[in-house]
Amino acid sequence: MDIPAFEKLRDKQIITDDDLEKIKAFKTSQPVSVHWDLRTILYFGIFLFTTGTGIIVYKNIDTIGHDIIIAVIALCCAGCFFYCIKKAKGYANKKVQSPNVWFDYILLAGCLLLLTLIGYLQFQYNAFGSRWGLATFMPMVLLFISAYYFDHLGVLSLAIVNLAAWTGITVTPLQILDENDFSSERIILSGIVLGAGLVAFSLLTLKRNLKSHFAFTYKNFGTHILFIALLAALFEFEDIYLIIFPVFAAVAFFFYKNALKENSFYFLVITLLYSYIAVGYFVIRLLEITGGGMGSVYLGLFYFIASGIGLIRVLMHYNKIIKSNDSIQ
Amino acid sequence: MTAYNNTDLYNKYVQEQASEAFRNKCIDEAVYRNILEKHPHTLYTPNYFIRIGLALLTFVAIVFSLTLVWLITGASSDEAIMTLLLFFCDSLLCLA
Query: pLDDT digit string (tens) for A208-260?
Result: 888 889 999 999 999 999 999 999 999 888 888 888 899 999 999 999 999 98
User: Tell me, what's the pLDDT at A329?
Assistant: 40
**Cβ count near A251 (within 10 Å):** 22
Same domain, B53 and B33: no
Q: What mean pLDDT do residues A145-156 have?
A: 92
Q: What mean pLDDT do residues A298-323 have?
A: 88
Is-contact A154 A104, C-beta < 8 A?
yes
Contact A269 B67 (CB under 8 A): no
User: Tell me, what's the pLDDT at A43?
Assistant: 84
Residue A98 lies in a domain: yes
Looking at every residue in chain A, the average pLDDT score rounds to 86
Query: Is this complex's ipTM strictly greater than 0.85?
Result: no
Alpha-carbon gap, residue A132 to A52, rounded angstroms: 26
Same domain, B53 and B24: no
Q: A309 — contact with chain B (CB < 8 Å)? A: yes
Q: How many domains does chain A have?
A: 1
Residue A327 lies in a domain: no
Instruction: Mark which residues 254-293 of A lie under 8 Å from B by CB.
Output: 265-266, 268-269, 272-273, 276
Banded model confidence at residue A34, pLDDT cuts 50, 70, 90: confident
Residue B43 lies in a domain: no
Angle at A248 between CA A244 and CA A256, to 5 degrees: 170
Find the CB nearest B56 among A19, A23, A273.
A273
Residue A109 lies in a domain: yes
Q: What mean pLDDT do residues B76-94 have?
A: 76
Is-contact A203 A258, C-beta < 8 A?
no
Is-contact A269 B50, C-beta < 8 A?
yes
Same domain, B34 and B67: no
Same domain, B58 and B83: yes
Residue B1 lies in a domain: no
Angstrom distances, CA of residue A94 to CA of A17, A98, A210:
42, 13, 7
Is-contact B94 B65, C-beta < 8 A?
no
Is-contact A15 B27, C-beta < 8 A?
yes
Residue A156 lies in a domain: yes
Alpha-carbon gap, residue A276 to A270, rounded angstroms: 10
Residue A127 lies in a domain: yes
Same domain, B28 and B56: no
Q: Which chain B residues are closer than 8 Å to A312 by Cβ?
A: 54, 57-58, 61
- DSSP letter at A31 equals P
Range of the domain at B89: 48-95
Residue B83 lies in a domain: yes
Contact A19 B27 (CB under 8 A): yes
User: Tell me, what's the pLDDT at A223?
Assistant: 95
Residues of B with CB under 8 A from a CB of A: 13-14, 17, 20-22, 24, 26-27, 29, 31-35, 38, 44, 46-50, 52-54, 56-58, 60-61, 64-65, 67-68, 71
More confident residue, A279 or A294: A279
Q: How many domains does chain B have?
A: 2
Distance, CA of B77 to chain centre: 35
Residue A17 lies in a domain: no
Same domain, B55 and B30: no
Positive or negative CA dihedral for A57, A58, A62, A66? positive
Contact B27 A328 (CB under 8 A): no
Alpha-carbon gap, residue A319 to A263, rounded angstroms: 10
More confident residue, A290 or A112: A112
Identify the top-confidence range among A128-132, A227-231, A240-244, B60-64: A227-231
User: Tell me, what's the pLDDT at A162?
Assistant: 92
Range of the domain at A62: 35-171
Scanning chain A, the segments in alpha helix (DSSP H) are 3-11, 17-29, 35-59, 61-64, 66-87, 103-125, 132-150, 153-171, 174-178, 185-208, 215-236, 241-262, 265-289, 293-324
User: Tell me, what's the pLDDT at A328?
Assistant: 46
